[in-house]
């Protein structure tokens, strides 16, 4: 029987999510990859256990995570029935709906029909009566925002979710979504945007908007699909995402110029006593404006290395300037 570490909460910082009462760990475990049917249940179990032992109490999912879609929620559902059966009240489970999940006119985007059907399916896969956070995964250009936010409000009122969140919304869309939810009586808890040293779009208004609204933020892809790690310091390794293992990162994006910039960033990281990946995570979490950063893990070792980032989240002005010098003009891979 799994017995969690007694000191699991001592090393991980927890941050308040906006103006809510919910605390999230500085690092959350993302289950986008590595928790589908293409990985062994035992390796997945080891990662989930170790994450909890390290103080990671938040497990980030979506209906389509896998592969195949839905399988990551099934993996988490098994863990909740076995290792975490007695620990549900110590765990935050989030899921999302918005991207393609099933065929036909009701299998994606932001209609009330899709969001409510998807949440019911997610709850069955997870074996839960409720999730802690339910997100609209992306804005729907063809569905009124009132309908999408109304579906989130209904989920909270029905007790199928404790909090409402959004992901990939612009600053303007976020402000309007928060207004609608406030009028309905369900605050907007959190926004999940893409954010990294190489992709800083949230700094052009979104973070200010979230501060003003009292809404939390949780950054995904803080390592840019592994670009901000030591994996690409010598070019494109065989079997990597850029080598064709992922449709979200192409070999053309890993240019010789980018590799040189990554090597310079790695030098800054080493001087800080961190790996490049650890510095990239610390950079996203610097200053406390971001509530949590989502990290993936294909092994326990990789997870442990990521968690080491929280030991040093402070940057001096010289370090920030050197980082800015290297990423200026580099853009998102």
* Domain hosting residue 141, numbered range: 14-226+285-303
Cα gap 283→195, rounded to integer Å: 10
pLDDT over 70 at 245, yes or no: no
Cα gap 314→272, rounded to integer Å: 10
Domain membership of residue 175 (yes or no) is yes
CATH classification at residue 154: 3.20.20.100
Q: What is the pLDDT of residues 76-111, one digit of tens each?
A: 999 999 999 999 999 999 999 999 999 999 999 999
Q: What is the pLDDT of residues 164-215, one digit of tens each?
A: 999 999 999 999 999 999 999 999 999 999 999 999 999 999 999 999 999 9
- Look at the chain and report how many structural domains it folds into: 1
What pLDDT score was predicted for residue 232?
A: 83
Q: What is the pLDDT of residues 222-233, one digit of tens each?
A: 999 899 999 888
Domain membership of residue 112 (yes or no) is yes
Q: What is the pLDDT of residues 312-325, one digit of tens each?
A: 999 999 999 999 99
What pLDDT score was predicted for residue 246?
A: 54
Domain membership of residue 29 (yes or no) is yes
Cα gap 129→78, rounded to integer Å: 15
Residue 103, both tokens: 């065929």
Domain membership of residue 263 (yes or no) is no
Cα gap 76→93, rounded to integer Å: 9
Cα gap 183→177, rounded to integer Å: 10
Q: Annotate 75-104 with b (16+ C-beta within 10 A) or e (fewer).
A: bbbbbbeebbeeeeeebbbbbbbbbebeee
CA atoms within 13 A on the CB side of 274: 26
Domain membership of residue 5 (yes or no) is no
Domain membership of residue 330 (yes or no) is no
Q: Is 193 helix (H, G, I), strand (E, B) or coil?
A: coil
pLDDT over 80 at 252, yes or no: no
What pLDDT score was predicted for residue 329?
A: 66
Domain membership of residue 310 (yes or no) is no
DSSP 12: S
Segment 132-148 mean pLDDT: 98
């Amino acid at each position: 029987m799994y017995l969690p570490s007694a000191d699991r909460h001592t090393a991980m910082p927890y941050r308040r999510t906006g103006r809510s009462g919910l605390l999230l760990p500085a690092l959350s475990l993302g289950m986008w990859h590595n928790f589908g049917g293409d990985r062994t249940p035992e390796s997945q179990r080891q990662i989930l256990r170790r994450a909890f032992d390290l103080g990671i109490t938040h497990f980030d999912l979506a209906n389509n995570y896998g592969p195949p879609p839905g399988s990551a929620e099934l993996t988490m559902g098994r863990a909740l029935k076995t290792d975490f059966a007695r620990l549900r009240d110590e765990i935050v489970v989030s899921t999302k709906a918005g991207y393609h999940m099933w065929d036909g006119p009701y299998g994606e985007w932001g209609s009330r029909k899709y969001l409510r059907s998807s949440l019911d399916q997610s709850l069955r896969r997870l074996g839960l009566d409720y999730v802690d956070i339910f997100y609209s995964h992306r804005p729907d250009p063809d569905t009124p925002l009132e309908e999408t936010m109304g579906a989130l409000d209904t989920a909270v009122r029905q007790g199928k979710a404790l909090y409402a969140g959004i992901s990939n919304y612009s600053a303007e869309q976020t402000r309007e979504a928060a207004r609608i939810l406030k009028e309905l009586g369900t605050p907007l808890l959190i926004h999940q945007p893409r954010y990294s040293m190489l992709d800083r779009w949230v700094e052009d208004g979104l973070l200010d908007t979230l501060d003003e609204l009292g809404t939390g933020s949780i950054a995904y892809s803080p390592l840019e699909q592994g670009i901000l790690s030591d994996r690409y310091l010598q070019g494109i390794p065989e079997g990597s995402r850029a080598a064709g293992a992922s449709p979200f990162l192409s070999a053309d994006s890993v240019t010789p110029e980018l590799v040189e910039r990554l090597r310079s960033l790695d030098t800054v990281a080493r001087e800080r006593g961190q790996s490049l990946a650890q510095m990239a995570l610390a950079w996203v979490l610097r200053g406390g404006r971001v509530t949590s950063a989502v990290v993936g893990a294909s092994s326990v070792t990789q997870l442990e290395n990521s968690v080491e980032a929280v030991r040093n989240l402070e940057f001096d002005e010289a370090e920030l300037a050197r980082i800015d010098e290297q990423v200026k003009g580099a853009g998102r891979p």
